[in-house]
């Protein structure tokens, strides 16, 4: 089971986004979808009755969640997704680059190029693009002889009020999830808002999954938001309590299992079978009244 699932907020267009990503991303498929209840919704959600609430999309076996809501939130580049195209094995290299170019063309169509596709010291073929839905992707062709990479790695950019906090965040997350710090490359000298010694690139393994982080080397007008959150699938109430007590550091952000950590990153701390639990009579309205999820109270 994938313990941590990135969740992308959709402004009522999750179905459209899912179909687009199924076509654009490598080895992508729609794994499952859930609907809003047809009745019992509060007034502000009644227009969503019976419509899609979530879609789980798998990219090379890595699960992403699309969450349908209103226009309250939107993704931004503070959390992007690194897509690895593994062409390190002889004659498969040309195929991997062709697949990267195909994916890039679809994501860049009506999108915004943040770093042009080209050759860089860290990759023979790399680019960073924000697609037409506002979701950011870093496409990378693996270096020859490099270690195998996961197909998707969420990447957190620490900027604005969270500038130069990447190292502390990586250490904290490793402690919370019992993970392991990986590579850390520091800025040798001040670069824009990034101080000397700030994280130019770092990664960490959390519950068997890799996450990357960096302190931004340029001033940004965005920071972490609910536009992209991280779902923690919990096995029990005890596990919900344990993660919630550490990750929830802003009482104003606590609602329906959502919380915000000390670095501004949004999390959803939920039971792993939340979809099934919410099908019980009265469970969905009960959840809407909660801050931390209490499994026993979902049963009425």
Mean of pLDDT over the chain: 92
Find out whether 209 and 2 touch, Cβ atoms under 8 Å: yes
Q: Domain ranges for the chain, please list them.
A: 4-74+225-299, 79-215
* More confidently predicted of 147 and 37: 37
Rounded to an integer, the average pLDDT of 160-178 is 97
Confidence category of residue 184, pLDDT binned at 50, 70, 90? very high
Model confidence at 105: pLDDT above 90: yes
For position 25, what pLDDT does the model report? 97
pLDDT at 89: 45
Q: What is the predicted pLDDT for the residue at 299? A: 79
Q: Tokens representing 67?
A: 């969450």
Please indicate whether residue 279 or residue 248 has the higher confidence score (pLDDT). Answer: 248
Yes or no: say if 159 and 148 are a contact pair by the CB < 8 Å rule.
Answer: no
pLDDT computed for residue 279 by the predictor: 85
The packing angle between helices 92-108 and 14-24, to 10°, is 150
Q: What is the pLDDT of residues 249-285, one digit of tens each?
A: 999 999 999 999 999 999 999 999 998 998 888 888 8
N-terminal to C-terminal alpha carbon distance within the chain = 28
CA distance linking residue 123 with residue 143, whole number of Å? 6
Mean pLDDT value across residues 78-100: 79
Residue corresponding to tokens 């979809």? 275
Please tell me the least confidently modeled range out of 118-122, 230-234, 289-293.
Answer: 118-122
CA–CA dist 256, 145 (Å, integer): 45
Distance CA 191, CA 193 (A): 6
Percentage of the chain beyond pLDDT 90 is: 81
Q: What is the pLDDT of residue 144?
A: 60
Please check the confidence at residue 140 and state whether its pLDDT lies above 90.
yes
**Does CATH number 3.30.720.100 belong to domain 4-74+225-299?**
yes
- DSSP string across the chain: --SEEEEEEESS-HHHHHHHHHHHSTTEEEEEEEE--SS---GGGGGGTTSEEEEEEEETTEEEEEEE--SS----TTEEEEEEE---STTHHHHHHHHHHHHHHHHHTTSEEEEEEEEETTEEEEEEEE-TTS-EEEEEEPPTTPPP--SEEEEEEE-GGGTT-HHHHHHHHHHHHT-EEEEEEE-SS-BTTBPTTSEEEEEEEETTEEEEEEE-SS--S----TTEEEEEEESSHHHHHHHHHHH---GGG-BTTEEE-TTS-EEEEEETTHHHHTTSTTHHHHHHT-SS--GGGGG-
For residue 230, pLDDT over 60 is answered with yes
pTM of the model: 0.94
What is the arithmetic mean of pLDDT over 169-192?
96
Is pLDDT at 87 greater than 70 in this prediction?
Answer: no
> Which tokens belong to 281?
């009579």
On whether the CB atoms of residues 239 and 245 are closer than 8 A, the answer is no
Q: Residue 133: pLDDT band by 50, 70, 90 thresholds?
A: very high
pLDDT score recorded for residue 267: 98
pLDDT at 90: 43
Residue 268 to residue 256: CA distance in whole angstroms = 8
Between CA 60 and CA 72 the distance in angstroms is: 30
Residue-wise pLDDT tens digits, 185-217: 999 999 999 999 999 999 999 999 999 999 999
From CA 105, how far away is CA 112, in angstroms rounded?
11
Q: Which two tokens stand for residue 121?
A: 């010291």
Question: Average pLDDT, stretch 228-244?
Answer: 98
The percentage of the chain sitting over the pLDDT mark of 70, rounded to a whole number, equals 94
Give me the count of residues in the chain.
300
Topology of domain 79-215 in CATH is 3.30.720
Q: How far apart are CA 293 and CA 267, in angstroms?
A: 13
Residue 91 has pLDDT above 50, yes or no: no
What are 108-120's pLDDT values in tens digits? 999 999 999 999 9
**How far is the C-alpha of 131 from the C-alpha of 149, rounded, in Å?**
23
pLDDT of res. 48: 75
Distance between CA atoms of residues 237 and 240, nearest Å = 5
pLDDT of residue 1 exceeding 60: yes
In the structure encoding, which two tokens stand for residue 124, read together?
A: 């023979």
């Amino acid at each position: 089971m994938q313990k941590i699932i990135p969740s992308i907020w959709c402004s009522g267009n999750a179905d459209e986004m899912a179909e687009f990503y199924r076509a654009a991303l490598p080895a992508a498929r729609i794994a499952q979808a859930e609907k809003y209840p047809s009745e019992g919704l509060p007034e502000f959600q009644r227009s969503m009755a019976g419509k899609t609430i979530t879609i789980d999309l798998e990219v090379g076996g890595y699960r992403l969640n699309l969450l349908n809501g209103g226009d309250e939130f939107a993704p931004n580049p503070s959390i992007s997704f690194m897509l690895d195209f593994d062409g390190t094995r002889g004659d498969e290299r040309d195929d991997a680059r062709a697949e990267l170019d195909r994916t890039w063309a679809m994501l860049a169509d009506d999108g915004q190029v943040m770093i042009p596709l080209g050759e860089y010291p860290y990759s023979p073929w790399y680019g960073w693009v924000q697609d037409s839905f506002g979701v950011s992707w870093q496409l990378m062709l693996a270096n020859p002889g490099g270690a195998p990479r996961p197909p998707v790695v969420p990447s957190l950019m620490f900027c604005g009020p969270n500038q130069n906090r990447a190292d502390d965040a990586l250490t904290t997350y490793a402690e919370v999830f019992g993970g392991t710090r990986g590579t850390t490359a520091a800025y040798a000298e001040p670069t824009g808002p990034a101080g000397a010694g700030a994280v130019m690139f770092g990664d960490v393994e959390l519950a068997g999954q890799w996450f990357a982080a960096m302190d931004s080397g340029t001033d940004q007008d965005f920071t972490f938001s609910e536009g992209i959150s991280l779902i923690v699938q919990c096995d029990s109430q005890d596990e919900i309590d344990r993660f919630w007590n550490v990750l929830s550091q802003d009482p104003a952000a606590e609602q329906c299992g959502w919380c915000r950590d000390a670095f501004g990153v949004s999390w959803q701390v939920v039971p792993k079978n939340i979809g099934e639990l919410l099908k019980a009579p009265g469970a969905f309205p009960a959840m809407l009244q909660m801050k931390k999820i209490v499994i026993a109270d979902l049963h009425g």
